[in-house]
Amino acid sequence: MTEEEYIQERLEDQINWYSKKSQINQKNFKICRIIEIISAAIIPFLAGFPTFPCYSLLIGGLGVLIAVTASVSSLYKFQEHWIEYRTTCETLKHDKYLYQTKCAPYESEDAFYHLVRRVESLISKENTQWSRNAEKSNPT
């Protein structure tokens, strides 16, 4: 694989993947939090109107919605993945720019070798961490 092929097919591909996954997890996390916040804010408001039709069911339903949304967010670890993926994406970009500008540690003749080792190490670390988290979430 040539230097240009590696940067385009591997490094850029991974930067794009981590960026997209970070955005998806950020969006899901924020949606869950907004649902929780709005539902929690409505409950005390409704408590002031005990004659409101279906009052008890609505307040109970909002409580269930808060519990389910918080549980889903916790189960899928949207916030943690958002931060992890964003960090990995930005680290890959940082190394790419250091390499392209021939800044340390990529100023030597074997700079491409060091870039590949660093990129593959970051990706491997992220995959290993994901695997460990998946095992913790799903013990058998």
Residue 130 predicted with pLDDT over 80: no
Q: Sorting pLDDT into bands at 50, 70 and 90, what band is 22?
A: very high
3-state secondary structure the chain: CCHHHHHHHHHHHHHHHHHHHHHHHHHHHHHHHHHHHHHHHHHHHHHCCCCCCCHHHHHHHHHHHHHHHHHHHHHHCHHHHHHHHHHHHHHHHHHHHHHHCCCCCCCCCCHHHHHHHHHHHHHHHHHHHHHHHHHHHCCC
Residue 127 predicted with pLDDT over 90: no
Look at residue 89 in the predicted model and tell me its pLDDT: 97
Look at residue 140 in the predicted model and tell me its pLDDT: 58
Look at residue 123 in the predicted model and tell me its pLDDT: 94
Look at residue 85 in the predicted model and tell me its pLDDT: 97
**Tens of pLDDT along 49-102?**
877 778 889 999 999 999 999 999 999 999 999 999 999 999 999 999 999 999
**Tens of pLDDT along 57-67?**
999 999 999 99
**Tens of pLDDT along 34-54?**
999 999 999 999 888 877 778
Predicted model pTM: 0.87
